[in-house]
């Protein structure tokens, strides 16, 4: 039986030096969403059920379009980071890599689609 020190048993079991930056990214996006989501609800809410020309006229103004775009962008980045952490915790092997790549592609595609839709409304 080989004698292993506590340091030898712990080597390779850490966060690979990325845990702190990932934590701060999630914290910053959470605080940004804490401000953006109520703004989005109060700017988007009055337009629910309105006719299409009124919605286009409303989102042609800069403030509602910027709030909606920032909420979509920050929300999908926060989703990507959270889903990646969940996959890293619960999925093993090749499925982990495939799942992480799929989540990243889906979140960026959804964010791009949302930003494109807002740009079409705003311009």
For the stretch 94-122, pLDDT in tens is: 999 999 999 999 999 999 999 999 999 99
| C-alpha–C-alpha distance, residues 15 and 20, integer Å | 8
Q: What is the pLDDT of residues 40-62, one digit of tens each?
A: 999 999 999 999 999 999 999 99
With respect to residue 83, please indicate whether it lies within any of the assigned structural domains: yes
With respect to residue 115, please indicate whether it lies within any of the assigned structural domains: yes
With respect to residue 11, please indicate whether it lies within any of the assigned structural domains: no
The CATH number of residue 43's host domain is: 1.20.1300.10
Residues with Cβ within 8 Å of 30's Cβ and at least 6 positions away in sequence, in order, are 78
Q: Give how many domains the chain has, as a whole number.
A: 1
Range of the domain at 100: 21-122
With respect to residue 9, please indicate whether it lies within any of the assigned structural domains: no
Q: What are the tokens at 51?
A: 């006719």
């Amino acid at each position: 039986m080989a004698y292993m020190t506590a340091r030898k048993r712990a080597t390779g079991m850490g966060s690979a030096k990325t845990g702190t930056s990932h934590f701060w990214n999630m914290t910053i996006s959470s605080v940004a969403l804490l401000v953006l989501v109520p703004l989005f609800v109060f700017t988007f809410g009055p337009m629910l059920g309105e006719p299409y020309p009124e919605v286009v006229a409303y989102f042609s103004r800069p403030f509602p379009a910027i709030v909606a775009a920032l909420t979509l962008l920050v929300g999908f980045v926060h989703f990507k980071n959270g889903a990646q952490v969940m996959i890293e915790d619960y999925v093993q092997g090749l499925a982990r890599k495939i799942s992480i790549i799929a989540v990243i592609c889906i979140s960026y595609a959804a964010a791009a689609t949302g930003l494109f839709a807002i740009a079409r409304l705003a311009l």
